[in-house]
Amino acid sequence: MREERLNSIDLFKFLMAIVVIAFHTNPFDKCTSVLVNETAIIVADMAVPFFFLASGYFIADKWGDTAAERRAYIQKMIISTFKLYCVWTLFHLPLTIYGYTQSGNSVMECVLSYVKYFLFVGKLYNSYHLWYLLSMLYALAGMWILICRGKGTRHILAAGVFFYVVYLLFRGLQGHNDINGVLNAVGKAYYFVFNTGVIFTGLLYMGIGIYIREHRRLDSRAAAVGIAIGVIIRYTLSPDAGNILSSVMLFALILNLQLPDHPCYFVLRMLSRYIYLVHLLCFSVYTFIIIRRPDKLGVDSFFATLILALAVSVVIIYLKGRYERNKNRNL
């Protein structure tokens, strides 16, 4: 299979990383325009699905043609993603400890809570964006199991649909104590372990990304119409179904954008990754240390977080490049 690089994906990953910052810092907190606020919500809701879709698309771009090649590549991805999740969870540990000190819970309760959130939820104090990495781990593990059993991309997509439906069903059970006793108990147990279970949503979008890479693309006009239909469905029938359709169609639309090759796209790809990983650390530095108003939202928090995240990301990329160059010289 020919490996493919799409500059449009790199560009929009960078833009979506900025959207994620906006979602977490809420620069529109004082905006009274319904249109502006709703548009911001629609775009923000498509950001993380876009990252999942892109991850799935590029997995299928690189994982080879045979089951053995795919199994080996997915296994490699699991290891690298787990390391990334552990490292960035460790970087956020001081914030996690602070959050637990403010909770008023006992040490044992905090330890048990940490184990739960690290393994099954991925959302700790001011590091809740890391659920994306945990969801990727669950999705990759599911893919690996299916590939080991001789299943293909359609089975991966079907598994993604199944787990997303499970997520919706159990999310719907929360707060309904008048249902069947056994079902109610199962719902409570599920919530106790996984909270809403949002980590099970990644496999659907990654499966769609894989399916698009291996089977078909939509033309730009069909994708644009699909986005509009998705928005209509969001406000008339189902927010979840509408967001899925809009996100997938936006991804399909971006796939059709042909941007000339330029080194800047590699830089944008790297920046998008580290901006996503560091932005809540930068947000915490600004709100806790600089202005001393913990977790303050607003326009100032957005721009301060964006500028700090860009600066930190540039430093990380520079240091990483320097380390790799020195390593190559010593080989």
Q: Is residue 175 part of a domain?
A: yes
Higher pLDDT, 274 or 183: 274
Do 21 and 112 share a domain, yes or no? no
Whether residue 187 is found in the same domain as residue 295: no
Last residue of a domain, which of 261, 283, 315? 261
Number of structural domains (the chain) is 2
Write out pLDDT tens, residues 166-218.
999 888 877 666 666 777 788 888 888 999 999 999 999 999 999 999 887 78
Tokens encoding 316: 């990380």
Q: 285 pLDDT band (50/70/90 cuts)?
A: very high
Measured CA distances, 93 to 100, 103, 119, 281, 287 (Å): 11, 15, 15, 10, 17
User: Do residue 316 and residue 278 come from a single domain?
Assistant: yes
User: Would residue 228 count as lying in a domain?
Assistant: no
What's the rounded mean pLDDT across residues 299-317? 97
User: Both 144 and 272 in a single domain?
Assistant: no
The reported pLDDT for the residue numbered 215 is: 83
Tokens of 265: 């796209």
- Given 261, 296, 321, which residue is the final one in a domain? 261
Whether residues 205 and 312 share a domain: the answer is: no
Q: For 4-8, 21-25, 41-45, 304-308, which range has the lowest pLDDT when averaged over its residues?
A: 4-8
Q: What is the mean pLDDT of residues 44-48?
A: 96
Look at residue 176 in the predicted model and tell me its pLDDT. 64
Same domain, 189 and 293: no
pLDDT attached to residue 3 = 46
Between CA 252 and CA 266 the distance in angstroms is: 21
Q: Is residue 77 part of a domain?
A: yes
Mean per-residue pLDDT of the chain = 92
Residue 209, number of CB atoms within 10 A of its CB = 27
Rg over CA atoms, the chain:
21
Judgement on whether residues 8 and 52 belong to the same structural domain of the protein: no
Predicted local confidence at residue 203, as pLDDT: 97
82 and 180 inside one domain: yes
Domain of 329 in residue numbering reads as: 1-30+262-331
DSSP SS3 for 167: helix
237, 261, 285 - which closes a domain:
261
Query: In terms of domains, do 16 and 66 share one?
Result: no
- Higher-pLDDT residue of 328, 266: 266
Residues 177 and 307 in one domain: no
Instruction: Say whether both 18 and 58 belong to one domain.
Output: no
Query: What does the pLDDT read at residue 194?
Result: 93
